[in-house]
Chain A
Amino acid sequence: MTSTSLEQPSPRVSARASGRGAEVIVERLSGALLLIAAVVLAFYVGVYFVYAINLIGFPFDYDQGEGFELVDVLMLSEGRWPYQDIEAYPFYGSIYPPVYHVLLIPFAWVFGPEYWYGRLFSFITTLITAAAIAYAVNRESKHRWIALVAGMAFLSSNIVYHIGPLFRQHIPMILFETLAIVVLAHVNEIADQQRRRRQLALGMALLILAGYTKQLAAFSAIAALLFLFIRQPRRAIIWGAGFAAVGAAIFVWLTWATDGHWWTQTIVANVKDFDPAQAIGLLRQWFNLHGFLLIPALAVIVYELYFDRLSIYSLWLPVNAALNAISAGTWGAGDSYYATSIAAVCVLSGIFAARTLNRTWTFQPNVYSRALIDPLRRYARPIRMAGLILVPLLYLGYARSVLHMPTTGPVFGTIADVLDLTPNAINGFYDSAGRVTGGYADIGHLTTRADRSGGELILDRVRAIPDDVPILSEEAAFSLLTGREVITNPVVLYILDQVGQVDSSGLVAMLERQEFGLIILRARFYPPTVNIAIDTYYEPVETILMNGFDYVLLRPRDEAPERGS
């Protein structure tokens, strides 16, 4: 049984010759449209670089919680686990695995508490991920132009743009996941046993690294093991068992080494409330932004299901999209949960585009090809010509969907005027996603001098407090940059409180005794008992705007009620 292309030789040679001119015109039009699409996507990559450079130079928290990732790095660099007893002073804990933070330890040793190296590291990992996507598309299709476009499409996604240069562990997780998938994609075809085993070991090691960078990588591991199982169950079971054994051994060791706090904070604390409206909203938004590439990606999956063998990418996308769609509805989750599936979308849509342009779609003879494909063979030529136009239009449609850029400054201001864009986010930023879906991060804008001045002003307020008087800051930067001890990680405290795994009475008692000379709030992500104690024993004295958010500074009340009243 042999596969056949959609195209078959036509006896009407003269008609074919006469139609060749039209075909040449269509090919040239396709090339021109693809060039325009590539230029627009390259523009987004340029915007991404501008955003990254701006953010790397910003010395304060930009996204909620970045500073606590830096605290994790600093603690690990001092040989301490961030998974501490959160009920004891300084009430600190962490819900994230340590790989990202461990990788940053050398920077912490050299540069100390700085945000730039974590952001630069994350930014570079997104560039490597884009390169891995391009490599995968080129390997599958031998179409370098489309491979380049696919890599740029990844960096052009609003969601990838958002999180790419943040001091967050989510971004290197995507890199390790993508590398693992690319490494394992053709492992079954390697005839040499030693080489095949080395490649399997590398793929599994990358999956473990991804999982111990962030727990969500488990979804990519499921997809990879399913792929291996479909191709060769025996190999999948043996290697899957080894993978599980190594992963479990690390897990048990971490639980033992942290007196069980690893288990409580990274697993128990992650069982969070589910909000269906947030999950559905983010799913719709993901589709609205990436639909132009998602549809061809799904077409490749359907093709492989019925006319070819399933590739690892065809399992990676649906498994990740489905499981992350559910996870994205949990408290504290957001649009970033879709970033891995965007990588898969870019690979699969790139394969679709390259096969269409290369004319390399082949169909195994079976019941479906006979019923659905064979009747279309007489229209092979117009279908192919339509495909030549469709591919660049898909990328152009995608480029329009993900439109995001600053609207101020000599270059961006002029472009925004031409496009008639009205900023819809902080600091004159325009984001086609809007800011209407719960869980969609309110970031992406450039920071300004005013933001930096706001941060400096808060630092001045902190420095005015005697060194022996602690402060309670909802963001770690203000403690780190003034050489003070970071007290508690609010989000960890909050979610542990939600699942009944923490007693905050120690922190509440300090608040009741008014031991903090200053409290800095941004979003009040503390447990209710802590928020009540803050309001009871402290009063707001100043609000400072930074980065689009109001930072409320509180001092002890002169006339506070009796403790415990």
Chain B
Amino acid sequence: MFRNDFTITKRQLGLLLLAVGLLAFAGVLSIDLIDAGREGGIGPAQRIALALAALIALIGLTLIPLKDDPA
């Protein structure tokens, strides 16, 4: 990774985005799980954040088959 000619591949970027998307999705959901006393359920901003996290994870998943192509 610290070589002068190293570059991130599509697969590595895909795995990274998949991890970020899943973590973000779990994080946004956990706001309600941790803050159990809060009323109103999942709000509109949270829904957008969840959709965004899912999209990031999906993009990551679809990049994995591209293997070692440079990102």
Contacts and interface: CB of A to CB of B under 8 A. Distances in A.
A133 B71 CA distance: 24
Nearest to B45: A276
A6 B71 CA distance: 21
A234 B7 contact: no
Contact of A310 (B3, B6, B44, B71): B71
Given A234-B3, A276-B44, A276-B45, A364 B69 contact: yes
Given A230-B13, A305-B59, A322 B7 contact: no
Contacts of A368: 65-66
Contacts of A306: 62-63, 66
Given A305-B63, A366-B69, A233 B6 contact: yes
Interface in B13-39: 13
Given A279-B45, A310-B71, A367 B65 contact: yes
Contacts of B43: 276
B16 to A, nearest CB: 9
Query: How large, as a class, is the contact surface on chain A?
Result: 20 to 34
B38 to A, nearest CB: 14
A234 B6 contact: yes
A306 B4 CA distance: 25
A234 B65 contact: no
Interface in A203-254: 229-234, 237
B32 to A, nearest CB: 15
B4 A234 contact: yes
Interface residues of B, number: 21
B24 to A, nearest CB: 11
Contacts of B70: 309
A233 B8 contact: yes
Interface in B53-67: 59, 62-63, 65-66
B44 A309 contact: no
A310 B10 CA distance: 10
Nearest to B5: A232
A274 B44 CA distance: 13
Nearest to A232: B7
B66 A366 contact: yes
Interface of A: 229-234, 237, 274, 276, 279-280, 305-306, 309-310, 322, 329, 364, 366-368
Among all A-B residue pairs, the 3 with the closest Cβ atoms: A276-B45, A230-B8, A234-B2
